[in-house]
Amino acid sequence: MRLPEPFYALGEHIAIELSGARAAFTTRRGGFSEGPYASLNLGRLTDDDRGAVERNRALVAEQLGVAFAHGRQVHGAVIARAAAATGNREEPPEADGQATATPGVAGLVLTADCLPIAIAGDGAVAMVHAGWRGLAAGVVGEGVAAIRELGAPGSLAAAIGPGAGPCCYEVGEEVHAVFEDRAPAVRNGRNLDLKKIARIELERAGVGEIHDLGLCTICSDRSLFFSHRRDQGRTGRQAGIAWLT
């Protein structure tokens, strides 16, 4: 797997260093799940065996040396401020991102075509879950606001992880209409460029350094990422994870 700099392989995962923080984007490789969830499915709300999912989560936490803070994702714009790990609560609060200034705590979001976006500054880091609804709702700007609130006053850096690419992400006119003010830069025929939208939102929020992994979950090697659209909804979830270093 060839990765654009400054991304690098971290075991089976993909990582990047950002302003006193590290972000990791997991692949579907190296876990315990079987069938359509093979093998590193991290999604508790899938129909995968719950024991396998918990083993997968524990494995990734051990590999990265962190404890996870996560929420119940609803395609909104709420960013939780995580001072401690979430643990194994069955019903974590609704949030589509986690921001923290606590060493050892890692914000985690789950994706299977939506974008995981890491945002980092001096002393704080956030991981954001961004599909088209979240982008339209302003989740990127909320992520930036959260780490500013947690004490990162200086320059910011961001990394856009694997998600549906402009090569494959076809949507209806009702979705294109939501982003009409950004067209034609984010539109190619019926396809929408979520990553370009994310970049525009990051720039508007004052993020000066932006890196895009450039991998599409829909058309990449099937053994690399889960994809809700490609797999017609019966699939697992990979994660975007970010923590202070």
Query: CATH top-level class for 17-244?
Result: alpha beta
Using one digit for the tens of pLDDT, what is the confidence trace for 144-155?
A: 999 999 999 999
Tokens of 183: 């067209």
Residue reference for tokens 């991290």: 42
Using one digit for the tens of pLDDT, what is the confidence trace for 103-146?
A: 999 999 999 999 999 999 999 999 999 999 999 999 999 999 99
Residue 54 neighbours by CB under 8 Å, 6+ apart: 88
DSSP state of 181: G
The DSSP bridge partners found for residue 72 are 94
Asked whether the predicted pLDDT for residue 227 surpasses 80, the reply is: yes
pTM of the model: 0.98
- Count Cβ atoms below 10 Å from residue 183 Cβ, excluding itself: 11
